[in-house]
Amino acid sequence: MTDTTMGGGSGLDTIIGADETLDPEAAAQFFQRGLDALKAGDRLEGIDLLERAASAGRRPEHLFRLASELDLAGEEDRAIAIYEELAELDRPHIAVLVNLAVLYEDRGDITRAERCLRQVLETSPNHERARLFWKDVVASKDMYYDEEHLRDLAKQNALLDTPVTDFELSVRARNCLKKMQIRTLGDLLRISEAELMSYKNFGETSLVEIKHMLAQKGLRLGQGLEGQMHRARRKIYQELQGKAPDHVLNKPISALDLSVRARKALQLLNIQTVGDLACRTEAELMGVKNFGATSLDEIKEKLGTLNLELRTLD
């Protein structure tokens, strides 16, 4: 959920590290060409031109856009380095601090993420995006010790790569997992109970069996989803930039005027905003008791009026 543009003010009109070798005019030209390349769908060329713009002018807005595109391209180390440089300004822009907090949180650096968000909320206590991610950071701190065992297991790739067929499961349960292309223990930890139950022929008996097997190892379904969900949420906000502004994504669910049944289902999943809803999959919703196709169609229609849709699994 990172911004790709930032408004004026808060130290953005200064030039970082200005010296006689800088060429503001060339920087502006490279930047515009970079934006044109990105608009045409050529991200590699766009990033290359944005890098030239940043080198030629060192303007914060150019550096910010470069960091955003590097993040989208999966080059998080370089993105973080640029955001950290921008955060060193006397009055760093709010979007810089929030984006940096998101990246820190994805890496499990909760302390730094909290520091960035606290800096935003001290000056803008009602900033919606910062408040949204503050909740995520607090939740991450609360479950830090619960996840310590999982992080230890994650380092043991051999365990996570163990085929599910190696565990004591019934033929029915094994066949169901095979059809779902769940082949390893790691795959199983990255799927939720609701998603399992949404698959055809997967019943309560198989669910209980699998949960018992995981519990014996100190694991649970969906345990590996937290970081994935944060990344998915960030990408959704980035990809819909312009189509779904923050004031739309932060609308409360009540603003959608849903039926009672649909609202109750979303309450069970602790979905509070339109943005939260857009981060969920059809399978997660359908896994809620008494939630049917009619409610699903209703929600999809409401999201469609806002140019949004439910998340799809990669």
So what's the pLDDT on residue 221? 80
Same domain, 173 and 231: no
CATH number at residue 155: 1.10.150.20
Residue 15 is assigned to a structural domain of this protein: no
User: What confidence category does residue 18 fall into, taking pLDDT thresholds of 50, 70 and 90?
Assistant: very low
Same domain, 136 and 212: no
Residue 48 is assigned to a structural domain of this protein: yes
Same domain, 82 and 171: no
Residue 268 is assigned to a structural domain of this protein: yes
Residue 6 is assigned to a structural domain of this protein: no
Range picked from 27-41, 197-211, 288-302 for highest mean pLDDT: 27-41
Of 97, 112, 142, the position where a domain reaches its end is 142
Same domain, 236 and 174: no
Lowest mean pLDDT among 172-176, 187-191, 251-255: 187-191
Same domain, 53 and 106: yes
Lowest mean pLDDT among 1-15, 83-97, 197-211: 1-15
Helix, strand, coil percentages, rounded to 5, for the chain: 65, 0, 35
Same domain, 66 and 91: yes
Same domain, 174 and 108: no
Residue 46 is assigned to a structural domain of this protein: yes
Quickly tell me which residue has 């994935």 as its tokens. Answer: 228
Same domain, 198 and 230: no
As a whole number, mean pLDDT of residues 32-53 equals 93
Same domain, 129 and 157: no
For 133, the domain range is 24-142
Q: How far, in Å, CA of 241 to CA of 232, rounded?
A: 14
Same domain, 138 and 154: no
In sequence order, what are the residues at sequence separation of 6 or more whose Cβ sits closer than 8 angstroms to the Cβ of residue 176? 199, 201, 202, 206
So what's the pLDDT on residue 20? 43
CATH number at residue 76: 1.25.40.10
For 240-293, what is each residue's pLDDT tens digit? 556 667 778 788 898 899 998 888 888 877 788 887 888 788 887 887 777 888
Of 156, 190, 216, the position where a domain reaches its end is 216
Q: Is the pLDDT of residue 102 over 60?
A: yes
For 56-96, what is each residue's pLDDT tens digit? 988 999 999 999 999 888 899 999 999 999 998 888 888 89
DSSP assignments along 144-193, one per residue: HHHHHHHHHHHH-HHHHTSBGGGS---HHHHHHHHHTT--BHHHHHTS-H
Question: In the chain, what is the straight-line distance between the N-terminal and C-terminal CA atoms, in Å?
Answer: 18
Residue 10 is assigned to a structural domain of this protein: no
Residue 180 is assigned to a structural domain of this protein: yes
Of 159, 190, 216, the position where a domain reaches its end is 216
Residue 189 is assigned to a structural domain of this protein: yes
Same domain, 53 and 131: yes
How many structural domains compose the chain? 3
Report the share of the chain in percent with pLDDT over 70.
79
So what's the pLDDT on residue 12? 38
* CA distances (Å), origin 68, targets 20, 121, 177, 253: 27, 22, 38, 29
Q: Is the pLDDT of residue 2 over 70?
A: no
Same domain, 205 and 244: no
* Chain mean pLDDT for the chain: 79
